[in-house]
Structure formats: C-alpha cells, structure tokens
Amino acid sequence: MELKQMQKVSFYIGSNNTTKQKEPEKAFLVLNSFFSDYTILNTIGAWQGLQEESFIIEVITDKTEEELLSIRDQLKTALAQESVLLTCETIKGSF
C-alpha cells in the first residue's frame, strides 16, 4: 500500500450569531453541491472572546483555491456568518 499526497481542507463554523445554535443542516445544502464525502466534527470554540458551540467540516479534495474560497463564501452566506475559517494542508493518505 502506498500513501498518496492529498489536500485536507477544513472549514471552521461557529453558532448562529442570533440564536446561538449550530446549523449544520444549512451547511449540508452547500456542501452537497460540491462534495460527496466529508466529515463534520462537533466542537467548542471562541469568537471575539465569547465561547460558542461550533463545528468543523473536513474534506479531502483536489478543488482549486478559487473554488474553495467560493465554497467558503457560500457557507458564510447560507449560515449568516461574519467569518468562516478555511484551512488547507497537504497530507499523505490512503483509502
């Protein structure tokens, strides 16, 4: 078995600024348009010094930076978020 170089992308999304609730179902509507496989991790984070329930979406993908930034912007709009953090890292993996 040989490990292949891949790109792992993570989107960090906080709770709704008004209701203080996580809204992963809204994220699904965006994600399902671009990815057939992804993982959602429930977590607790902080935004501007206030602790909140959050979730992280992890995807292994070969999408371009431009495509990923567009997806991030669509997530921001769909979830009414001021900010969604997008990170990309090169990994080695095998399915």
CA distance 39 to 43: 13
CA distance 4 to 70: 26
pLDDT in tens, the chain (95 residues): 899 999 999 999 999 878 888 999 999 999 999 999 999 999 999 888 989 999 999 999 999 999 999 999 999 999 989 999 999 999 999 88
Alpha carbon distances (Å) from 83 to 1, 5, 13, 74, 95 = 40, 29, 8, 11, 32
pTM: 0.91
Q: Look at residue 19 in the predicted model and tell me its pLDDT.
A: 82
Angle (CA) 81-79-46 rounded to 5° is 45
Sign of the CA dihedral running 78, 88, 34, 27 = negative
Q: Look at residue 59 in the predicted model and tell me its pLDDT.
A: 97
Find out whether 81 and 75 touch, Cβ atoms under 8 Å: yes
Q: Look at residue 36 in the predicted model and tell me its pLDDT.
A: 94
Find out whether 15 and 80 touch, Cβ atoms under 8 Å: no
Question: The sheet that has 39-47: what strands, in order across it?
Answer: 39-47, 50-61, 4-14, 85-93
